[in-house]
């Protein structure tokens, strides 16, 4: 099992959902980055469950930085962050340990690791591990802000309800990063939450789309082929549990355009080269062009639901049915937002280092 991503700046994840702790090791960040523990706490709060639209499992996320920081600043050596698990109910999983929960990694993990996997709460495959990504990402976000690079994500769509589009990127980013349920239109947020509650009442779940913008990137990041900005970002984003699609700029809809409409025409704004549109998402030939990078992530409905489903018992090798108890989210889109921001920040740090 490989758990490390990145070249110049790398992050390694460790821990399991119901183990003693989860955590991350970040290597490659320069010395001298001020560590704002209050900011790390606030980022973890954005990932935390929100009332009745989220899981009842609420963790304190009391993190500790074990290495790589001295007197409030990074030292340039590996940063190790650990977050204890303090609210586990492993017995919820003992009765279904050999029943493959649909769309979960139970069956694939059992086969790949020969039955030695930690099945409790999804083990190392659990969304719980994303708390470590958020803690590490908070440091990366702080570093990028020093370079005037900013990241913001809104819930573009949830349960069939669309948010309004980005307007002024900088002001939108500031507004979104202070919201627990990150939409640009508060009325749309209320309607989305209503739809989430309707699904929960039915024992079901919903998904959605997260749209992210990155501003302040210099021209020239990325490589033409296997390390294009799209390639590296997609690689990392698809590692987030529940992300099933990633598109940049106009995305799949660009295939329905004529070239005259799809092309982003260049023009001079003073002494700065800009484009009149951004259908290519701020990237040409795999390389940033100085225009904000925009992409969207499709987040599937939470796979753990109360509705009875057909499955198999992979130890008895027989068909069975499963109705999941325990604690789960009717929607994870609003909690995944800060995870996307964090992964993006870590990837950009890696690219900036090239």
Question: CA-CA distances (angstroms) from residue 75 to 21, 138, 249?
Answer: 24, 17, 37
pLDDT band at 17; cut points 50, 70, 90: confident
Mean pLDDT computed over every residue of the chain: 91
Q: What's the whole-model pTM score?
A: 0.92
Kind and range of the H or E element at 146? Answer: helix 130-146
Q: Is residue 90 scored above 70 in pLDDT? A: no
Distance CA 313, CA 116 (A): 17
Distance CA 35, CA 40 (A): 9
Q: Is residue 326 scored above 60 in pLDDT? A: no
Q: What's residue 126's pLDDT?
A: 82
Q: Is residue 94 scored above 80 in pLDDT? A: no
Cβ count within 10 A of residue 104? 18
Would you list the DSSP string of 54-112? Answer: S-S-------EEEESEETTEE-SSPEEEEEE-----THHHHTTTTB--TTSSHHHHHHH
Domains of the chain: 4-352 (3.60.150.10)
Q: Is residue 306 scored above 90 in pLDDT? A: no
Question: CA-CA distances (angstroms) from residue 79 to 51, 65, 110, 147, 221?
Answer: 32, 7, 32, 20, 25
Q: Contact, 164 vs 185, CB < 8 A?
A: yes
Q: What's residue 107's pLDDT?
A: 85
Distance CA 211, CA 251 (A): 11
Specify which residues 299 forms β-bridges with. Answer: 208, 243
For the stretch 207-255, pLDDT in tens is 999 999 999 999 999 999 999 999 999 999 999 999 999 999 999 999 9
For the stretch 278-299, pLDDT in tens is 999 999 999 999 999 999 999 9
Q: Is residue 115 scored above 90 in pLDDT? A: no
Residue with tokens 């259908």: 279
């Amino acid at each position: 099992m490989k758990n490390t991503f990145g070249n110049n700046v790398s992050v390694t994840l460790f821990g399991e959902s119901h183990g003693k702790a989860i955590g991350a090791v970040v290597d490659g960040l320069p010395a001298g980055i001020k560590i704002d523990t209050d900011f790390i706490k606030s980022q973890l709060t954005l990932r935390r469950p929100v009332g009745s639209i989220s899981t009842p499992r609420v963790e304190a996320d009391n993190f500790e930085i074990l290495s790589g920081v001295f007197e409030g600043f990074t030292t340039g050596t590996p940063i190790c962050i650990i977050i204890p698990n303090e609210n586990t109910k492993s017995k919820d999983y003992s009765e279904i340990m050999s029943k493959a929960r649909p769309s979960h990694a139970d069956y694939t993990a059992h086969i790949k690791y020969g039955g030695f996997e930690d099945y409790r709460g999804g083990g190392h495959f659990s969304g719980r591990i994303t708390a470590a990504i958020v803690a590490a990402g908070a440091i990366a976000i702080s570093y990028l802000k020093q370079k005037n690079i900013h990241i913001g994500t809104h819930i573009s769509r949830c349960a069939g309800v669309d948010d309004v589009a980005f307007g002024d990127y900088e002001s939108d980013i500031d507004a979104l990063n202070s919201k627990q349920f990150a939409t640009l239109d508060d009325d749309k947020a209320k309607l989305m939450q209503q739809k989430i509650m309707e699904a929960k009442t039915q024992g079901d779940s919903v998904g959605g789309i997260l749209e992210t913008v990155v501003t302040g990137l210099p021209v020239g990041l990325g490589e033409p082929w296997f390390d294009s900005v799209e390639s590296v970002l997609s690689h990392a984003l698809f590692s987030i549990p529940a992300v099933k699609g990633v598109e940049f700029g106009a995305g799949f809809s660009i295939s329905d355009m004529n070239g005259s409409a799809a092309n982003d025409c260049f023009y001079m704004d003073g002494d700065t080269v800009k484009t009149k549109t951004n259908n290519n998402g701020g990237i040409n030939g795999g390389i940033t062009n100085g225009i904000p990078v925009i992409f969207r992530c499709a987040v599937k409905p939470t796979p753990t639901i109360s509705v009875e489903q057909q499955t198999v018992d992979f130890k008895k090798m027989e068909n069975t049915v499963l109705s999941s108890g325990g604690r789960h989210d009717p929607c994870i889109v609003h909690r995944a937002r800060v995870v996307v921001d964090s992964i993006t920040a870590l990837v950009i740090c890696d690219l900036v280092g090239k």
